[in-house]
Amino acid sequence: MASPPIPPLLEHLAARTFSFYPPILNLEHNEWRYRKETWSEILVVNWKSGEEIWIPRRFIGEVSRIDDPVLIVGLTRELEYRAGTVWPYQRRVLEMPAAAGARPTDSSASATEAARATPAPVVGIRLEPSDRRMFKLVAVALSGAIALCVLGLNLNRLADMRRRNIVFTAADQGFLDLSGQDTYAAVIDKLGPPAHETSQVVGTIHYRALTYPDRRYTIILMGGDRESAHYIGAMDEHWKPLHAVDLRSGGTTLPLLRGLKRF
> Which pLDDT tens digit goes with each residue over 235-260?
999 999 999 999 887 889 999 899 99
> Which pLDDT tens digit goes with each residue over 194-218?
999 999 998 889 999 999 999 999 9
Q: Binning pLDDT at 50, 70 and 90, where does residue 103 land?
A: low
Q: Would you say residue 48 has pLDDT above 50?
A: yes
CB 180 within 8 A of CB 231: yes
Mean pLDDT for the chain overall: 80
CB 233 within 8 A of CB 241: yes
Most confident of 54-68, 89-103, 165-179: 54-68
Quote the pTM value.
0.41
- Average pLDDT for residues 47-67, to the nearest whole number? 86
CB 225 within 8 A of CB 175: no
Q: Would you say residue 33 has pLDDT above 80?
A: yes
> Which pLDDT tens digit goes with each residue over 110-157?
555 555 656 666 655 565 566 677 778 888 888 888 988 888 887 877
User: So what's the pLDDT on residue 187?
Assistant: 95
